[in-house]
């Protein structure tokens, strides 16, 4: 296999690995934009492989840059008239590198794509119906996961506030129990691909 083809394959491998590293967060945002719903997070099982995929992306793209610079150095010594192919250009590698960086960091800014629905107005008929529960959740790993959980729960009627935390592995939900139930909230959270382990009443 020629060095040119190896370099191109390395660049594409790095790009694929970078996108795959954030595949737990990218599909839900696409689903949100498309209006499909929260069930598109079927790739959340890939999250444990994220460090390895990031490592693969860095190594593969680094190798592509190494080949490019090595070829460039050789060209400086010898006169070459042939025009390089598009995947051999510096612009191509810069584009691949930037796209990979954006993909890898996606989980840290994915929350900006979700609407802020905590400011919605909820009419509470009786304060006795207001309840606050802490749902312990398994599987959240970034702010994008938090935003997805909050977005799905806020679709239910009677939700006064919801705050998810991947650090604490929970979501605190205040709701009007005459308008929605604990079971409905749990189903909404589970529909994101993350799982409610247990729930505790907030004192």
pLDDT tens digit sequence for 119-170: 566 666 678 889 999 999 988 878 778 888 888 899 898 899 999 998 899 9
- pLDDT given for residue 51 in this prediction: 85
Mean pLDDT of 62-91: 71
pLDDT at 117 over 50: yes
User: How far is 202 from 46, CA to CA, in rounded Å?
Assistant: 32
Q: Domain extents for the chain?
A: 3-110, 114-201
User: How far is 59 from 47, CA to CA, in rounded Å?
Assistant: 19
Task: Extract the tokens encoding 189.
Answer: 């959270």
CATH number of 114-201: 3.30.70.100
What is the distance between the terminal CA atoms of the chain, rounded to a whole angstrom?
A: 66
Judge contact between 57 and 141, C-beta under 8 A: no
pLDDT at 172 over 90: yes
User: Of 182, 197, 195, 192, which is closest to residue 147 (Cα–Cα)?
Assistant: 192
- pLDDT given for residue 21 in this prediction: 78
User: How far is 148 from 152, CA to CA, in rounded Å?
Assistant: 6
């Amino acid at each position: 296999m020629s060095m040119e083809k190896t370099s191109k394959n390395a660049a594409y491998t790095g790009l694929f690995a970078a996108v795959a590293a954030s595949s737990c967060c990218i599909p839900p945002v696409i689903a949100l934009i498309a209006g499909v719903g929260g069930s598109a997070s079927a790739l959340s099982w890939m999250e444990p492989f994220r460090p390895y995929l990031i490592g693969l992306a860095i190594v593969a793209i680094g190798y592509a840059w190494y080949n490019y610079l090595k070829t460039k150095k050789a060209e400086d010594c010898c006169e070459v008239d042939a025009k390089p192919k598009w995947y051999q250009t510096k612009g191509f590698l810069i584009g691949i590198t930037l796209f990979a960086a954006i993909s890898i960091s996606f989980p840290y800014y994915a929350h900006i794509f979700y609407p802020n629905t905590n400011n919605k107005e909820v009419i509470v008929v009786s304060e006795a119906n207001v309840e606050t529960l802490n749902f312990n959740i398994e599987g959240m790993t970034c702010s994008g996961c938090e935003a997805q959980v909050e977005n799905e729960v806020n679709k239910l009627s009677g939700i006064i506030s919801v705050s998810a935390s991947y650090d604490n592995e929970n979501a605190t939900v205040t709701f009007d129990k005459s308008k929605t139930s604990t079971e409905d909230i749990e189903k909404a959270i589970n529909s994101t691909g993350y799982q409610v382990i247990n729930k505790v009443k907030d004192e």
